[in-house]
Structure 1
Amino acid sequence: MHFLIYSYFFLRLQGGCQNDYIEIYDGPPKSSPLLGRICSSSHLTYTSSSNFMSVRFYSEYSSGSFRARYQSLPADQNTTLLCLPTYMYAVVDRHYLQSQGYSVGNISLADPQCTPNITSTEVIFNISYSDCGTSRQGNNETITYSNVIKVPAPGTVIKRQKDLHFHISCKMLQNTWVQVMYIADDIIDVNKTQYGRYEVSLTFYNSSTFQWPVHDFPYYVDMDQNLYLQASLHSSDQNLTVFVDTCVASPNSSDFRTLVYELSKSGCPSDSTYFLYPSPRSDIARFGFNSFSFVNRFPSVFLRCELLVCRYHDYPSRCYQGCVSRFRRNADSSHEQVNVVVGPVQLREAHAESRNIGPLGNAVS
């Protein structure tokens, strides 16, 4: 799927082009090509190469505004790539390969031991992030997993076609898996880019031993009761670590701006009862605090936590810096941000006699 911003840009700006303008990026703004920069009303069209397009609005005046239209368009149907939590799901249309003169008999990955499922219409690969010859790289913005689907040209003694290579990449970038698929070293060039998210859960436990998760929904607690939470990253890549950066509470699961209470910020405790617990693995983070209620207004409390995912043993990364101010963050190593909402937690009624214990439903924002 591609996005198309079209028809017109209507701008109401107070400053000149140097201080008030709109930028359009072909993907996330920090690492994607700039498609255009606009500082006056105009009728322009921009098309993304993937299902991600960013529009960034700069204005030094509070009264600045803009309006634009957009629509989505179907992408190429010959190849499909999905970056799932534990593996890459890559599909190549069998009729497309045959129309280009290729046979699926010898199609393989970088590791030929990982074979595809071949149907009458498709060639399907389930590619592990930590196996099948998948390579892994990191830089100051992304964690990238790459593999290649190889289709040899026909012929045993000589060949008159180039081999066909589908290069597949999944990149963690700004809350998303960036999925890229393209054909290299051939006259046909197909690019596929999609976006997804890390799968992270946040669950209450009934004690600091973290043996029994809380099952009831909502979770009823006493005032000033010790609460224990575990954040878990679900990925086949064992070389990742998760860090709890910021947690805020709200009486409304869909509004974390109007009325909020800050438990931690930038890895630093904001609430006097907030506490970190040792973790048995790098893909788990544990913390706790004492329960409270919003004064005279709401019975329920929801938590929204910002979790960071980094490469394991990447000590310059944000996950290993601990409590720091945001302006001091080191940008030299990769880390990715995931937001999780959990709740509600409600104070137990005075007549309740027993605690409700069990897993809590999670919602990833």
Structure 2
Amino acid sequence: SPFYPGSYPNNADCVWEIQVENNFRVMLTFRDIEMQSGGCQSDYVEVYDGPPHSSPLLGRLCSGSFPTYTSSSNMMTVRFHSDSGYTFRGFQARYSSIPADRNTTLLCLPDYMHAVVSRDYLQSEGYSAQMVTLSDGGCKPTVTPREVVFNIPYNGCGTIREENNDTINYSNMITVTPSGNIITRKKNIHLHISCKMLQNTWEEIMYFAEDTVDVSENQFGRYDINITFYESSSFLRQVHDSPYYIDLDQNLYLQAYLHSSDPYLTVFVDTCVASPDPQDFNTLAYYIIKSGCVRDSSYVTYYSPYSHFARFKFNAFEFISRHPLVYLQCELVVCRLGNSSSRCYQGCVRRSRRDTSSAEEKVNVVVGPLELREGAAQSRTT
């Protein structure tokens, strides 16, 4: 739908993250652009080949032609900036997903990298499945009639971990080597595999070295985090009831858990907001903690022996004159363990969301519903 310059507050930014299925690409076509006469200084649209803080800028537009952009991954970002000085027609754009190259596939899963090479592709280049090895020869692939499959852990099989500012990179290499003991007329193929982690985003890269045809596979995903209610501050027994029947002012104990094989990560509770509507956390919302700043006096954090866990509690309440169901949406941040400059170690931060950097992108988790005990529900055991 159209977005109009001049109808937003001064220096407002609207950002859309377009993410399609794995092994697909995003194709974005602009259908109308009239935001200012030229220069693209006041009002403009920017298109990024992935997350805006870490990806190449594909283009900045404010008037003129109607270009089409195609992402190199399954993710693209559109940023609309307006300074409210002038009003023009604005812009319209439409996106669709298109299949990516099927010769190679890379998925960055919570515990390992899943790399697949097509046997048809290997055969077309004159190679067999037996010529494909990992840098750590002890980690063998699974060979099927159609594919060579590697499941490569982040903390083994020669995977290298590197930290670069607010990112964590995991890399490994698959090699395809011609057989023969004396001479060869075929080039070795070096298939570099890399998962670049941007807090809550995995960027997956698969490419061949320069001694052969370049092939790229880029994917983006999300961290796998869940939040579970517990019966007491010992955090030994989970609550499996849904809805969870509670009493007013009852202590509610919650634990967030990050699913990842990397032991050098930690999780931080940035924001938790309650609402009677699981689809709307804006119209009627009560913040328990916001941007690391505690808003509810009953909120307490607990020590956790593991960095992948975050434990906290607050006291139950209900929304006045509304249905007794309460839903909770929490935003959590994943950081490098021990990195004192990361968001996880900054605590309360009082600034607007659009000023945040890529180090503060968050994972959203919705839990609930909570329901007050009344009538027949009074006898339920929680």
Report the TM-score, using the length of structure 1 for normalisation. 0.92
Q: For residue 333 of structure 1, report the CA deviation from its aligned partner.
A: 9.8
Matched, 1:161 2:186: yes
Matched, 1:259 2:306: no
Matched, 1:75 2:100: yes
Any conservation in 2 of the 1:318–1:333 contact (CA below 8 Å)? no
d(CA) in 1 for partners of 2:358, 2:273: 26
Match of 1:269 among 294, 308, 311: 294
What residue is the counterpart of 1:346 in the other structure? 371
Q: How does 1:60-71 map to 2 (within 5 A)?
A: 60-61=83-84, 65-71=90-96
Q: For residue 314 of structure 1, report the CA deviation from its aligned partner.
A: 1.6
Any conservation in 2 of the 1:15–1:60 contact (CA below 8 Å)? no
Any conservation in 2 of the 1:81–1:194 contact (CA below 8 Å)? yes
CA change 1:307–1:350 in 2 (3 A) is: same
Matched, 1:132 2:157: yes
What residue is the counterpart of 1:6 in the other structure? 29
Q: Deviations over 1:14-37 (max 9, x none)?
A: 997211000111111111111111
Matched, 1:90 2:112: no
3-state SS of paired residue (1:96)? helix
Paired residue type of 2:27: L
Matched, 1:31 2:42: no
Any conservation in 2 of the 1:140–1:333 contact (CA below 8 Å)? no
3-state SS of paired residue (2:377)? coil
What residue is the counterpart of 1:186 in the other structure? 211
Paired residue type of 1:52: M
Any conservation in 2 of the 1:8–1:41 contact (CA below 8 Å)? no
d(CA) in 2 for partners of 1:5, 1:32: 16
What residue is the counterpart of 2:65 in the other structure? 42
What residue is the counterpart of 1:227 in the other structure? 252
d(CA) in 2 for partners of 1:312, 1:211: 25
Q: For residue 75 of structure 1, report the CA deviation from its aligned partner.
A: 0.6
Q: For residue 138 of structure 1, report the CA deviation from its aligned partner.
A: 1.8
Q: How many residues align?
A: 356
Report the TM-score, using the length of structure 2 for normalisation. 0.88
d(CA) in 2 for partners of 1:5, 1:332: 25
d(CA) in 2 for partners of 1:167, 1:336: 27
What residue is the counterpart of 1:307 in the other structure? 332
Paired residue type of 1:257: N
Q: For residue 107 of structure 1, report the CA deviation from its aligned partner.
A: 1.7
Q: For residue 336 of structure 1, report the CA deviation from its aligned partner.
A: 5.1
CA change 1:334–1:29 in 2 (3 A) is: closer
Any conservation in 2 of the 1:147–1:169 contact (CA below 8 Å)? yes
CA change 1:353–1:8 in 2 (3 A) is: closer
Q: Deviations over 1:222-276 (max 9, x none)?
A: 0111100000001111111111111111111111111100000122210010110
CA change 1:273–1:34 in 2 (3 A) is: same
d(CA) in 2 for partners of 1:19, 1:37: 12
What residue is the counterpart of 2:17 in the other structure? none
3-state SS of paired residue (1:67)? strand
d(CA) in 1 for partners of 2:153, 2:199: 22
Q: Calculate the aligned-residue CA RMSD, in Å.
A: 2.3
Identity %: 59
d(CA) in 2 for partners of 1:239, 1:70: 37
d(CA) in 2 for partners of 1:156, 1:334: 50
d(CA) in 2 for partners of 1:138, 1:341: 30
d(CA) in 2 for partners of 1:275, 1:131: 37
Q: Deviations over 1:27-52 (max 9, x none)?
A: 11111111111111532111111111
Q: Deviations over 1:300-329 (max 9, x none)?
A: 11111111111112222221222333479x
3-state SS of paired residue (1:353)? helix
Any conservation in 1 of the 2:257–2:310 contact (CA below 8 Å)? yes
3-state SS of paired residue (1:248)? strand
Paired residue type of 1:29: P
Q: Where in structure 1 are there 5+ consecutive unaligned residues?
A: 358-365
What residue is the counterpart of 1:362 in the other structure? none
Paired residue type of 1:337: K
